[in-house]
A = this chain, B = another copy of it.
Protein backbone atom coordinates (compact mmCIF):
# COMPACT_ATOMS: atom_id res chain seq x y z
CA UNK A 1 0.00 0.00 0.00
CA UNK A 2 2.96 2.31 -0.39
CA UNK A 3 1.77 3.57 -3.76
CA UNK A 4 -1.48 5.35 -3.21
CA UNK A 5 -2.85 7.91 -5.60
CA UNK A 6 -4.48 10.51 -3.39
CA UNK A 7 -4.77 13.44 -5.76
CA UNK A 8 -7.28 16.23 -5.59
CA UNK A 9 -8.11 17.86 -8.92
CA UNK A 10 -9.74 21.00 -7.59
CA UNK A 11 -6.69 23.26 -7.90
CA UNK A 12 -5.92 21.90 -11.36
CA UNK A 13 -9.43 22.88 -12.43
CA UNK A 14 -9.02 26.29 -10.83
CA UNK A 15 -5.81 26.90 -12.76
CA UNK A 16 -7.38 25.85 -16.02
CA UNK A 17 -10.88 27.21 -15.73
CA UNK A 18 -10.74 30.17 -13.40
CA UNK A 19 -7.26 31.58 -13.65
CA UNK A 20 -5.52 31.03 -16.99
CA UNK A 21 -7.34 32.45 -20.05
CA UNK A 22 -7.89 29.12 -21.76
CA UNK A 23 -10.71 30.58 -23.86
CA UNK A 24 -7.90 32.32 -25.73
CA UNK A 25 -6.04 29.04 -26.30
CA UNK A 26 -9.18 27.30 -27.47
CA UNK A 27 -9.72 29.91 -30.21
CA UNK A 28 -6.45 28.91 -31.92
CA UNK A 29 -6.97 27.17 -35.27
CA UNK A 30 -5.59 23.85 -34.07
CA UNK A 31 -7.96 23.60 -31.12
CA UNK A 32 -10.94 25.63 -32.23
CA UNK A 33 -14.12 23.61 -32.04
CA UNK A 34 -12.49 20.74 -30.15
CA UNK A 35 -12.31 22.13 -26.65
CA UNK A 36 -14.38 24.33 -24.45
CA UNK A 37 -14.04 25.42 -20.85
CA UNK A 38 -17.25 23.58 -20.10
CA UNK A 39 -15.73 20.25 -21.08
CA UNK A 40 -12.73 20.57 -18.83
CA UNK A 41 -14.30 19.21 -15.66
CA UNK A 42 -15.28 16.04 -17.43
CA UNK A 43 -11.90 15.62 -19.01
CA UNK A 44 -9.99 16.20 -15.77
CA UNK A 45 -12.27 13.82 -13.90
CA UNK A 46 -11.72 11.16 -16.55
CA UNK A 47 -7.95 11.57 -16.45
CA UNK A 48 -8.05 11.44 -12.69
CA UNK A 49 -9.93 8.18 -12.90
CA UNK A 50 -7.42 6.74 -15.37
CA UNK A 51 -4.61 7.84 -13.09
CA UNK A 52 -6.23 6.05 -10.17
CA UNK A 53 -7.56 2.95 -11.91
CA UNK A 54 -5.10 2.27 -14.72
CA UNK A 55 -1.80 3.79 -13.65
CA UNK A 56 -2.18 3.79 -9.90
CA UNK A 57 -3.12 0.20 -9.23
CA UNK A 58 0.11 -1.67 -9.94
CA UNK A 59 2.40 0.66 -8.03
CA UNK A 60 3.39 -1.70 -5.24
CA UNK A 61 3.98 -4.65 -7.52
CA UNK A 62 6.05 -2.51 -9.86
CA UNK A 63 8.08 -1.08 -7.01
CA UNK A 64 8.75 -4.52 -5.60
CA UNK A 65 9.57 -6.05 -8.97
CA UNK A 66 11.83 -3.17 -9.92
CA UNK A 67 13.71 -3.77 -13.15
CA UNK A 68 15.70 -6.88 -13.94
CA UNK A 69 18.79 -7.30 -16.01
CA UNK A 70 19.76 -10.86 -16.77
CA UNK A 71 21.74 -12.30 -19.66
CA UNK A 72 21.87 -8.91 -21.30
CA UNK A 73 18.11 -8.57 -21.27
CA UNK A 74 16.26 -5.80 -19.44
CA UNK A 75 12.84 -6.66 -18.07
CA UNK A 76 10.28 -4.38 -16.52
CA UNK A 77 7.09 -5.27 -14.71
CA UNK A 78 4.34 -6.29 -17.16
CA UNK A 79 2.24 -3.37 -15.97
CA UNK A 80 4.87 -0.98 -17.26
CA UNK A 81 4.20 -2.02 -20.85
CA UNK A 82 0.49 -2.05 -20.25
CA UNK A 83 0.46 1.48 -18.89
CA UNK A 84 2.76 2.79 -21.62
CA UNK A 85 0.58 1.35 -24.35
CA UNK A 86 -2.59 2.52 -22.68
CA UNK A 87 -1.34 6.10 -22.59
CA UNK A 88 -0.12 6.04 -26.17
CA UNK A 89 -3.09 4.24 -27.66
CA UNK A 90 -5.66 6.39 -25.97
CA UNK A 91 -4.30 9.68 -27.14
CA UNK A 92 -2.93 10.88 -23.80
CA UNK A 93 0.69 10.47 -24.80
CA UNK A 94 2.71 11.24 -27.89
CA UNK A 95 0.81 13.30 -30.41
CA UNK A 96 1.46 14.06 -34.02
CA UNK A 97 2.41 17.71 -34.23
CA UNK A 98 1.07 17.80 -37.77
CA UNK A 99 -2.36 16.58 -36.79
CA UNK A 100 -4.84 19.30 -37.36
CA UNK A 101 -7.49 17.97 -35.08
CA UNK A 102 -7.85 16.44 -31.67
CA UNK A 103 -4.40 17.48 -30.52
CA UNK A 104 -4.20 18.39 -26.86
CA UNK A 105 -3.02 21.90 -26.07
CA UNK A 106 0.19 21.73 -24.05
CA UNK A 107 -1.51 23.23 -21.04
CA UNK A 108 -3.96 20.31 -20.97
CA UNK A 109 -1.19 17.82 -21.63
CA UNK A 110 0.47 19.33 -18.57
CA UNK A 111 -2.57 18.65 -16.42
CA UNK A 112 -2.82 15.09 -17.73
CA UNK A 113 0.86 14.41 -17.08
CA UNK A 114 0.65 15.84 -13.60
CA UNK A 115 -1.94 13.27 -12.60
CA UNK A 116 -0.30 10.41 -14.48
CA UNK A 117 3.07 11.10 -12.90
CA UNK A 118 1.58 11.38 -9.45
CA UNK A 119 0.02 7.96 -9.77
CA UNK A 120 3.00 6.31 -11.46
CA UNK A 121 6.22 8.31 -11.15
CA UNK A 122 8.30 5.57 -12.78
CA UNK A 123 6.33 5.89 -16.03
CA UNK A 124 8.23 8.29 -18.22
CA UNK A 125 8.34 6.36 -21.50
CA UNK A 126 5.42 8.29 -23.02
CA UNK A 127 7.01 11.68 -22.39
CA UNK A 128 10.41 10.64 -23.70
CA UNK A 129 8.78 9.09 -26.75
CA UNK A 130 7.01 12.39 -27.31
CA UNK A 131 10.24 14.36 -27.11
CA UNK A 132 12.08 11.95 -29.40
CA UNK A 133 9.27 11.79 -31.93
CA UNK A 134 9.00 15.54 -32.08
CA UNK A 135 12.71 15.84 -32.80
CA UNK A 136 12.31 13.47 -35.74
CA UNK A 137 9.22 15.34 -36.84
CA UNK A 138 10.96 18.70 -36.63
CA UNK A 139 14.35 17.86 -38.06
CA UNK A 140 13.99 14.56 -39.91
CA UNK A 141 13.52 13.83 -43.59
CA UNK A 142 10.21 12.59 -44.90
CA UNK A 143 11.74 9.11 -45.05
CA UNK A 144 12.66 9.14 -41.37
CA UNK A 145 9.25 10.40 -40.38
CA UNK A 146 7.59 7.60 -42.33
CA UNK A 147 9.92 5.04 -40.85
CA UNK A 148 9.60 5.97 -37.20
CA UNK A 149 6.72 8.18 -36.32
CA UNK A 150 3.67 5.98 -36.86
CA UNK A 151 5.01 3.33 -34.48
CA UNK A 152 6.16 5.94 -31.98
CA UNK A 153 2.75 7.55 -31.99
CA UNK A 154 0.85 4.32 -31.42
CA UNK A 155 2.90 2.89 -28.56
CA UNK A 156 4.67 0.14 -30.50
CA UNK A 157 8.05 1.81 -30.18
CA UNK A 158 9.41 4.18 -27.58
CA UNK A 159 12.07 6.87 -27.56
CA UNK A 160 14.89 8.19 -25.42
CA UNK A 161 17.36 11.03 -25.25
CA UNK A 162 21.02 9.95 -25.10
CA UNK A 163 23.28 12.71 -23.89
CA UNK A 164 25.15 11.59 -20.79
CA UNK A 165 28.19 9.34 -20.89
CA UNK A 166 30.11 7.81 -18.02
CA UNK A 167 32.69 10.58 -18.22
CA UNK A 168 30.53 13.48 -19.39
CA UNK A 169 27.29 14.59 -17.79
CA UNK A 170 26.86 18.30 -17.19
CA UNK A 171 29.80 18.78 -19.47
CA UNK A 172 28.08 17.34 -22.52
CA UNK A 173 30.58 19.01 -24.86
CA UNK A 174 33.10 16.41 -23.74
CA UNK A 175 31.19 13.34 -24.88
CA UNK A 176 33.32 10.67 -26.52
CA UNK A 177 30.68 9.12 -28.80
CA UNK A 178 31.86 9.32 -32.39
CA UNK A 179 30.08 9.07 -35.74
CA UNK A 180 31.80 7.93 -38.91
CA UNK A 181 30.48 8.58 -42.42
CA UNK A 182 29.37 5.61 -44.53
CA UNK A 183 28.76 5.39 -48.25
CA UNK A 184 25.24 6.54 -47.59
CA UNK A 185 25.42 10.25 -46.62
CA UNK A 186 22.28 9.88 -44.48
CA UNK A 187 23.76 7.13 -42.37
CA UNK A 188 26.71 7.05 -39.96
CA UNK A 189 28.44 4.36 -37.97
CA UNK A 190 28.18 5.13 -34.26
CA UNK A 191 30.73 4.21 -31.61
CA UNK A 192 30.38 5.13 -27.97
CA UNK A 193 28.59 4.46 -24.76
CA UNK A 194 25.84 6.26 -22.89
CA UNK A 195 24.84 6.32 -19.24
CA UNK A 196 21.69 7.06 -17.24
CA UNK A 197 19.41 6.55 -20.23
CA UNK A 198 15.89 6.71 -18.86
CA UNK A 199 13.73 4.00 -20.46
CA UNK A 200 16.87 3.08 -22.39
CA UNK A 201 15.93 -0.60 -22.46
CA UNK A 202 13.15 -2.88 -21.35
CA UNK A 203 10.56 -5.20 -22.78
CA UNK A 204 7.77 -2.63 -22.75
CA UNK A 205 8.47 -1.56 -26.32
CA UNK A 206 9.27 -3.45 -29.54
CA UNK A 207 12.00 -1.02 -30.51
CA UNK A 208 13.69 1.82 -28.69
CA UNK A 209 14.53 4.86 -30.76
CA UNK A 210 17.49 6.64 -29.21
CA UNK A 211 18.03 10.29 -30.06
CA UNK A 212 21.76 10.15 -29.71
CA UNK A 213 24.43 12.84 -29.50
CA UNK A 214 27.77 12.04 -31.11
CA UNK A 215 30.57 13.94 -32.78
CA UNK A 216 31.19 13.31 -36.46
CA UNK A 217 34.87 12.65 -37.13
CA UNK A 218 36.60 15.95 -37.70
CA UNK A 219 33.85 18.15 -36.27
CA UNK A 220 34.64 20.96 -33.85
CA UNK A 221 35.40 20.32 -30.18
CA UNK A 222 32.84 21.12 -27.50
CA UNK A 223 29.08 21.27 -27.84
CA UNK A 224 29.21 23.08 -31.16
CA UNK A 225 30.65 20.07 -32.95
CA UNK A 226 27.99 17.63 -31.79
CA UNK A 227 25.42 16.11 -34.14
CA UNK A 228 22.16 14.36 -33.41
CA UNK A 229 21.40 10.86 -34.65
CA UNK A 230 18.48 8.51 -34.66
CA UNK A 231 19.97 5.29 -33.32
CA UNK A 232 17.34 2.59 -32.96
CA UNK A 233 17.92 -0.44 -30.80
CA UNK A 234 16.88 -2.50 -33.85
CA UNK A 235 17.75 -1.17 -37.27
CA UNK A 236 14.66 -0.60 -39.39
CA UNK A 237 14.99 -1.83 -42.94
CA UNK A 238 13.07 -0.24 -45.78
CA UNK A 239 10.60 -3.10 -45.76
CA UNK A 240 9.93 -2.47 -42.10
CA UNK A 241 11.81 -5.52 -40.88
CA UNK A 242 14.11 -5.12 -37.90
CA UNK A 243 17.66 -6.28 -37.39
CA UNK A 244 20.16 -6.03 -34.62
CA UNK A 245 21.89 -2.64 -34.44
CA UNK A 246 24.70 -3.50 -32.01
CA UNK A 247 23.15 -1.37 -29.25
CA UNK A 248 23.99 -3.32 -26.13
CA UNK A 249 22.68 -2.68 -22.66
CA UNK A 250 25.60 -3.12 -20.28
CA UNK A 251 23.77 -2.44 -17.01
CA UNK A 252 20.69 -1.03 -15.38
CA UNK A 253 21.33 1.56 -12.69
CA UNK A 254 20.52 0.77 -9.06
CA UNK A 255 18.66 3.91 -8.22
CA UNK A 256 17.52 5.33 -4.91
CA UNK A 257 13.99 5.56 -6.26
CA UNK A 258 11.91 5.26 -9.43
CA UNK A 259 12.61 1.56 -9.08
CA UNK A 260 10.17 0.50 -11.80
CA UNK A 261 11.76 2.79 -14.36
CA UNK A 262 14.57 1.16 -16.36
CA UNK A 263 17.66 3.36 -16.52
CA UNK A 264 20.22 1.88 -18.82
CA UNK A 265 23.88 2.09 -19.66
CA UNK A 266 24.33 1.43 -23.38
CA UNK A 267 27.30 0.50 -25.52
CA UNK A 268 27.04 1.20 -29.24
CA UNK A 269 29.31 -0.09 -31.95
CA UNK A 270 31.39 -2.50 -29.92
CA UNK A 271 31.07 -4.84 -32.90
CA UNK A 272 31.38 -1.94 -35.29
CA UNK A 273 27.83 -2.45 -36.33
CA UNK A 274 25.74 0.41 -34.90
CA UNK A 275 24.22 2.68 -37.49
CA UNK A 276 22.44 5.99 -36.97
CA UNK A 277 20.54 8.37 -39.19
CA UNK A 278 21.83 11.92 -39.03
CA UNK A 279 19.12 14.43 -38.18
CA UNK A 280 19.55 17.52 -40.33
CA UNK A 281 22.80 18.52 -42.01
CA UNK A 282 26.35 17.36 -41.37
CA UNK A 283 28.78 19.89 -39.85
CA UNK A 284 29.78 22.79 -42.07
CA UNK A 285 33.34 23.43 -43.20
CA UNK A 286 33.95 25.12 -39.83
CA UNK A 287 33.12 21.83 -38.11
CA UNK A 288 30.03 23.31 -36.48
CA UNK A 289 26.91 21.19 -36.18
CA UNK A 290 23.40 21.74 -34.89
CA UNK A 291 22.90 18.60 -32.80
CA UNK A 292 23.01 20.31 -29.45
CA UNK A 293 20.56 23.05 -30.34
CA UNK A 294 18.24 20.46 -31.88
CA UNK A 295 18.41 18.42 -28.69
CA UNK A 296 17.49 21.50 -26.72
CA UNK A 297 14.01 21.38 -28.18
CA UNK A 298 13.52 18.10 -26.33
CA UNK A 299 15.52 19.23 -23.35
CA UNK A 300 13.38 22.29 -22.77
CA UNK A 301 10.24 20.15 -22.86
CA UNK A 302 11.85 17.76 -20.39
CA UNK A 303 12.92 20.57 -18.08
CA UNK A 304 9.43 21.85 -17.54
CA UNK A 305 8.31 18.22 -17.39
CA UNK A 306 10.80 17.59 -14.60
CA UNK A 307 9.41 20.41 -12.50
CA UNK A 308 5.96 18.97 -13.08
CA UNK A 309 7.13 15.55 -11.92
CA UNK A 310 8.59 17.01 -8.74
CA UNK A 311 5.31 18.81 -8.11
CA UNK A 312 3.24 15.68 -8.71
CA UNK A 313 5.32 13.39 -6.49
CA UNK A 314 5.39 15.94 -3.66
CA UNK A 315 1.68 16.76 -3.99
CA UNK A 316 0.74 13.10 -3.86
CA UNK A 317 2.87 12.68 -0.73
CA UNK A 318 1.18 15.73 0.80
CA UNK A 319 -2.35 14.47 0.18
CA UNK A 320 -1.46 11.04 1.49
CA UNK A 321 0.00 12.63 4.61
CA UNK A 322 -3.12 14.75 4.97
CA UNK A 323 -5.34 11.66 4.76
CA UNK A 324 -3.26 9.96 7.43
CA UNK A 325 -3.36 13.01 9.68
CA UNK A 326 -7.15 13.09 9.42
CA UNK A 327 -7.36 9.54 10.73
CA UNK A 328 -4.51 9.23 13.18
CA UNK A 329 -5.55 10.04 16.74
CA UNK A 330 -2.89 11.44 19.05
CA UNK A 331 -2.99 14.00 21.81
CA UNK A 332 -5.71 16.43 22.67
CA UNK A 333 -6.76 19.86 21.61
CA UNK A 334 -5.01 22.64 23.55
CA UNK A 335 -8.46 24.11 24.12
CA UNK A 336 -9.71 20.84 25.64
CA UNK A 337 -6.71 19.14 27.23
CA UNK A 338 -8.88 16.65 29.10
CA UNK A 339 -11.13 15.94 26.15
CA UNK A 340 -10.97 13.10 23.65
CA UNK A 341 -7.95 12.40 21.47
CA UNK A 342 -8.04 14.30 18.20
CA UNK A 343 -6.81 13.55 14.69
CA UNK A 344 -3.29 14.92 14.49
CA UNK A 345 -4.26 17.31 11.70
CA UNK A 346 -5.69 19.47 14.49
CA UNK A 347 -2.23 19.98 15.96
CA UNK A 348 -0.72 23.28 14.86
CA UNK A 349 2.71 21.95 13.92
CA UNK A 350 1.14 19.24 11.76
CA UNK A 351 -1.09 21.86 10.15
CA UNK A 352 1.97 24.01 9.60
CA UNK A 353 3.73 21.21 7.70
CA UNK A 354 0.63 20.61 5.57
CA UNK A 355 0.16 24.35 5.00
CA UNK A 356 3.75 24.75 3.83
CA UNK A 357 3.19 21.88 1.41
CA UNK A 358 -0.15 23.13 0.16
CA UNK A 359 1.00 26.71 -0.37
CA UNK A 360 4.35 25.88 -1.97
CA UNK A 361 2.89 23.20 -4.21
CA UNK A 362 0.18 25.57 -5.39
CA UNK A 363 2.87 28.15 -6.18
CA UNK A 364 4.76 25.50 -8.16
CA UNK A 365 1.61 24.43 -9.98
CA UNK A 366 0.77 28.02 -10.88
CA UNK A 367 4.22 28.73 -12.35
CA UNK A 368 4.39 25.48 -14.30
CA UNK A 369 0.88 25.79 -15.68
CA UNK A 370 1.59 29.37 -16.68
CA UNK A 371 4.71 28.24 -18.53
CA UNK A 372 2.75 25.63 -20.49
CA UNK A 373 0.07 28.22 -21.23
CA UNK A 374 2.79 30.46 -22.69
CA UNK A 375 3.95 27.52 -24.81
CA UNK A 376 0.53 27.25 -26.40
CA UNK A 377 0.42 30.97 -27.11
CA UNK A 378 3.94 30.83 -28.50
CA UNK A 379 3.15 27.95 -30.84
CA UNK A 380 -0.32 28.99 -31.91
CA UNK A 381 -1.17 32.62 -31.53
CA UNK A 382 -1.83 34.39 -34.84
CA UNK A 383 -0.21 37.58 -33.57
CA UNK A 384 3.56 37.48 -33.94
CA UNK A 385 4.20 39.96 -31.11
CA UNK A 386 2.13 37.91 -28.72
CA UNK A 387 3.94 34.78 -29.88
CA UNK A 388 7.32 36.38 -29.31
CA UNK A 389 6.41 37.68 -25.89
CA UNK A 390 4.96 34.34 -24.81
CA UNK A 391 8.00 32.53 -26.17
CA UNK A 392 10.29 34.75 -24.12
CA UNK A 393 8.20 34.13 -21.02
CA UNK A 394 8.32 30.39 -21.54
CA UNK A 395 12.09 30.63 -21.96
CA UNK A 396 12.46 32.59 -18.74
CA UNK A 397 10.20 30.22 -16.86
CA UNK A 398 11.89 27.01 -18.03
CA UNK A 399 14.82 27.00 -15.56
CA UNK A 400 12.60 28.31 -12.77
CA UNK A 401 9.96 25.64 -13.35
CA UNK A 402 12.60 22.94 -13.50
CA UNK A 403 14.65 23.89 -10.47
CA UNK A 404 12.39 25.57 -7.94
CA UNK A 405 9.89 22.69 -7.60
CA UNK A 406 12.60 20.03 -7.68
CA UNK A 407 14.57 21.81 -4.94
CA UNK A 408 11.57 22.44 -2.73
CA UNK A 409 10.08 18.97 -3.18
CA UNK A 410 12.87 17.40 -1.10
CA UNK A 411 11.98 19.52 1.91
CA UNK A 412 8.26 19.35 1.39
CA UNK A 413 8.31 15.56 1.31
CA UNK A 414 10.50 15.59 4.40
CA UNK A 415 7.70 17.48 6.15
CA UNK A 416 5.14 15.00 4.83
CA UNK A 417 7.22 12.16 6.28
CA UNK A 418 7.49 14.11 9.53
CA UNK A 419 3.71 14.60 9.63
CA UNK A 420 3.28 10.81 9.67
CA UNK A 421 5.77 10.40 12.50
CA UNK A 422 7.46 6.99 12.59
CA UNK A 423 5.10 5.56 9.99
CA UNK A 424 6.43 8.11 7.52
CA UNK A 425 9.77 6.30 7.68
CA UNK A 426 8.12 3.01 6.78
CA UNK A 427 7.81 1.96 3.17
CA UNK A 428 4.28 0.78 3.89
CA UNK A 429 3.22 4.40 3.56
CA UNK A 430 3.82 6.48 0.43
CA UNK A 431 5.92 9.36 1.72
CA UNK A 432 9.21 7.44 2.01
CA UNK A 433 9.02 6.31 -1.60
CA UNK A 434 8.11 9.83 -2.69
CA UNK A 435 11.36 11.10 -1.16
CA UNK A 436 13.34 8.38 -2.88
CA UNK A 437 11.63 9.01 -6.19
CA UNK A 438 11.88 12.79 -6.14
CA UNK A 439 15.58 13.29 -5.56
CA UNK A 440 16.64 12.78 -9.17
CA UNK A 441 14.67 15.76 -10.41
CA UNK A 442 17.16 18.27 -9.04
CA UNK A 443 19.87 16.48 -11.03
CA UNK A 444 18.71 15.25 -14.42
CA UNK A 445 17.92 17.41 -17.48
CA UNK A 446 20.61 19.80 -16.36
CA UNK A 447 21.35 20.04 -12.64
CA UNK A 448 19.67 22.84 -10.77
CA UNK A 449 22.97 24.70 -10.84
CA UNK A 450 22.84 24.52 -14.65
CA UNK A 451 19.30 25.91 -14.50
CA UNK A 452 20.46 28.73 -12.24
CA UNK A 453 23.26 29.55 -14.67
CA UNK A 454 20.77 29.56 -17.50
CA UNK A 455 18.61 32.00 -15.55
CA UNK A 456 21.22 34.56 -14.56
CA UNK A 457 23.58 34.25 -17.50
CA UNK A 458 21.08 33.91 -20.33
CA UNK A 459 17.51 34.59 -19.33
CA UNK A 460 18.25 37.79 -17.44
CA UNK A 461 19.99 39.23 -20.49
CA UNK A 462 18.14 37.73 -23.47
CA UNK A 463 16.82 40.34 -25.93
CA UNK A 464 19.05 42.91 -24.28
CA UNK A 465 17.41 42.25 -20.96
CA UNK A 466 14.07 43.52 -22.22
CA UNK A 467 12.24 40.23 -21.78
CA UNK A 468 13.25 39.90 -18.16
CA UNK A 469 12.46 43.56 -17.48
CA UNK A 470 9.04 42.89 -18.98
CA UNK A 471 8.66 39.84 -16.73
CA UNK A 472 9.35 41.96 -13.64
CA UNK A 473 7.22 44.82 -14.90
CA UNK A 474 4.20 42.52 -14.98
CA UNK A 475 4.68 41.91 -11.26
CA UNK A 476 5.18 45.60 -10.62
CA UNK A 477 2.00 46.55 -12.45
CA UNK A 478 0.08 43.89 -10.58
CA UNK A 479 1.24 45.39 -7.31
CA UNK A 480 0.50 48.96 -8.37
CA UNK A 481 -3.04 48.13 -9.44
CA UNK A 482 -3.92 46.03 -6.38
CA UNK A 483 -1.80 47.54 -3.63
CA UNK A 484 -4.74 48.63 -1.56
CA UNK A 485 -7.18 45.77 -2.10
CA UNK A 486 -8.80 45.33 1.27
CA UNK A 487 -7.59 42.38 3.30
CA UNK A 488 -4.38 41.95 1.30
CA UNK A 489 -2.45 45.06 2.36
CA UNK A 490 0.22 43.13 4.22
CA UNK A 491 0.60 40.65 1.36
CA UNK A 492 1.05 43.37 -1.25
CA UNK A 493 3.53 45.19 0.97
CA UNK A 494 5.55 41.98 1.28
CA UNK A 495 5.40 41.35 -2.43
CA UNK A 496 6.49 44.90 -3.20
CA UNK A 497 9.40 44.48 -0.83
CA UNK A 498 10.26 41.17 -2.50
CA UNK A 499 10.26 42.77 -5.92
CA UNK A 500 12.49 45.54 -4.77
CA UNK A 501 14.78 42.98 -3.09
CA UNK A 502 14.96 41.14 -6.37
CA UNK A 503 16.05 44.30 -8.14
CA UNK A 504 18.70 44.79 -5.48
CA UNK A 505 19.90 41.28 -6.25
CA UNK A 506 20.15 42.08 -9.94
CA UNK A 507 21.90 45.35 -9.15
CA UNK A 508 24.45 43.68 -6.92
CA UNK A 509 25.12 41.04 -9.56
CA UNK A 510 25.57 43.73 -12.24
CA UNK A 511 28.12 45.37 -10.01
CA UNK A 512 30.02 42.12 -9.53
CA UNK A 513 30.06 41.72 -13.28
CA UNK A 514 31.32 45.26 -13.78
CA UNK A 515 34.12 44.46 -11.33
CA UNK A 516 34.80 41.16 -13.12
CA UNK A 517 34.04 39.26 -9.91
CA UNK A 518 32.44 36.43 -11.83
CA UNK A 519 32.78 33.80 -9.10
CA UNK A 520 29.66 35.30 -7.53
CA UNK A 521 27.76 34.22 -10.63
CA UNK A 522 28.56 30.67 -9.68
CA UNK A 523 28.45 30.76 -5.89
CA UNK A 524 25.19 32.70 -5.65
CA UNK A 525 23.37 31.24 -8.65
CA UNK A 526 21.27 28.62 -6.90
CA UNK A 527 20.20 31.01 -4.15
CA UNK A 528 19.09 33.51 -6.77
CA UNK A 529 17.10 30.89 -8.59
CA UNK A 530 15.31 30.11 -5.33
CA UNK A 531 14.61 33.80 -4.79
CA UNK A 532 13.19 34.04 -8.32
CA UNK A 533 10.84 31.14 -7.61
CA UNK A 534 9.74 32.71 -4.34
CA UNK A 535 9.04 36.08 -5.92
CA UNK A 536 7.19 34.66 -8.91
CA UNK A 537 5.36 32.08 -6.82
CA UNK A 538 4.21 34.79 -4.42
CA UNK A 539 2.97 36.92 -7.28
CA UNK A 540 1.01 34.10 -8.90
CA UNK A 541 -0.53 32.90 -5.65
CA UNK A 542 -1.65 36.41 -4.82
CA UNK A 543 -3.09 36.82 -8.30
CA UNK A 544 -5.04 33.62 -7.71
CA UNK A 545 -6.06 34.72 -4.21
CA UNK A 546 -7.76 37.85 -5.52
CA UNK A 547 -9.94 35.70 -7.76
CA UNK A 548 -10.53 33.23 -4.94
CA UNK A 549 -11.49 35.93 -2.45
CA UNK A 550 -14.12 37.30 -4.83
CA UNK A 551 -15.54 33.82 -5.33
CA UNK A 552 -15.53 33.10 -1.60
CA UNK A 553 -17.36 36.36 -0.90
CA UNK A 554 -19.84 35.57 -3.61
CA UNK A 555 -20.54 32.00 -2.47
CA UNK A 556 -20.52 32.49 1.27
CA UNK A 557 -19.23 30.07 3.91
CA UNK A 558 -22.09 27.62 3.58
CA UNK A 559 -21.33 26.79 -0.04
CA UNK A 560 -19.65 23.41 -0.61
CA UNK A 561 -16.81 25.03 -2.54
CA UNK A 562 -16.18 27.86 -0.08
CA UNK A 563 -13.30 26.11 1.69
CA UNK A 564 -11.46 25.62 -1.56
CA UNK A 565 -11.50 29.35 -2.27
CA UNK A 566 -10.78 30.28 1.32
CA UNK A 567 -7.90 27.80 1.22
CA UNK A 568 -6.50 29.54 -1.86
CA UNK A 569 -6.53 32.84 0.02
CA UNK A 570 -4.77 31.21 2.97
CA UNK A 571 -2.19 29.58 0.69
CA UNK A 572 -1.28 32.97 -0.72
CA UNK A 573 -1.19 34.55 2.68
CA UNK A 574 0.94 31.78 4.20
CA UNK A 575 3.36 31.71 1.29
CA UNK A 576 3.78 35.47 1.09
CA UNK A 577 4.17 35.96 4.80
CA UNK A 578 6.34 32.92 5.56
CA UNK A 579 8.16 31.81 2.41
CA UNK A 580 8.62 34.98 0.36
CA UNK A 581 10.45 36.83 3.19
CA UNK A 582 13.23 34.28 2.77
CA UNK A 583 14.19 36.46 -0.20
CA UNK A 584 15.25 39.16 2.21
CA UNK A 585 17.79 36.71 3.62
CA UNK A 586 18.96 35.73 0.15
CA UNK A 587 19.27 39.39 -0.86
CA UNK A 588 21.45 40.00 2.12
CA UNK A 589 23.77 37.12 1.20
CA UNK A 590 23.97 38.32 -2.40
CA UNK A 591 24.90 41.83 -1.33
CA UNK A 592 27.29 40.67 1.37
CA UNK A 593 29.61 39.22 -1.22
CA UNK A 594 31.25 36.68 1.04
CA UNK A 595 34.10 35.09 -0.92
CA UNK A 596 34.83 32.17 1.41
CA UNK A 597 33.89 29.56 -1.17
CA UNK A 598 35.93 30.95 -4.02
CA UNK A 599 39.07 31.54 -1.96
CA UNK A 600 38.92 28.19 -0.12
CA UNK A 601 41.77 25.90 -1.13
CA UNK A 602 40.45 22.42 -1.91
CA UNK A 603 42.81 20.93 0.66
CA UNK A 604 40.58 22.15 3.50
CA UNK A 605 37.87 19.67 2.52
CA UNK A 606 40.14 16.83 3.57
CA UNK A 607 38.91 17.54 7.10
Chain A interface (Cβ < 8 Å from any Cβ of B): 8, 10-11, 164, 167-171, 174, 195-196, 253-257, 322, 326, 329-331, 334, 341, 345-349, 351-352, 354-355, 358, 410-411, 414, 417-418, 421-422, 424-428, 432, 435-436, 439-440, 442-444, 447-449, 518-519, 522-523, 525-526, 563-564, 566-567, 570, 573-574, 577-578, 581-582, 584-585, 588-589, 592, 594, 596-607
Contacts and interface: CB of A to CB of B under 8 A. Distances in A.
Contacts of A574: 594, 596-597
A606 B421 contact: no
14 contacts: A169-B421, A174-B330, A257-B425, A351-B600, A352-B522, A358-B604, A411-B411, A414-B439, A424-B443, A564-B607, A566-B604, A574-B596, A577-B594, A578-B596
B588 A581 contact: yes
Nearest to A431: B256
A169 B420 CA distance: 11
Contacts of A518: 334
Nearest to A428: B254
Contacts of A584: 584-585, 588
A348 B585 contact: no
Contact of A174 (B341, B349, B448): B341
Given A170-B421, A330-B169, A518-B334, A10 B596 contact: no
A358 B605 contact: yes
Contacts of A444: 422
Copies in the complex: 2
A449 to B, nearest CB: 5
A604 B564 contact: yes
Given A334-B518, A358-B604, A588-B584, A598 B348 contact: yes
Given A351-B602, A570-B604, A574-B597, A171 B426 contact: no
Contacts of A605: 322, 345, 351, 354-355, 358, 567
Given A349-B522, A436-B256, A525-B349, A601 B426 contact: no
A351 B525 CA distance: 13
A528 B361 CA distance: 24
Given A11-B607, A432-B256, A578-B594, A522 B418 contact: no
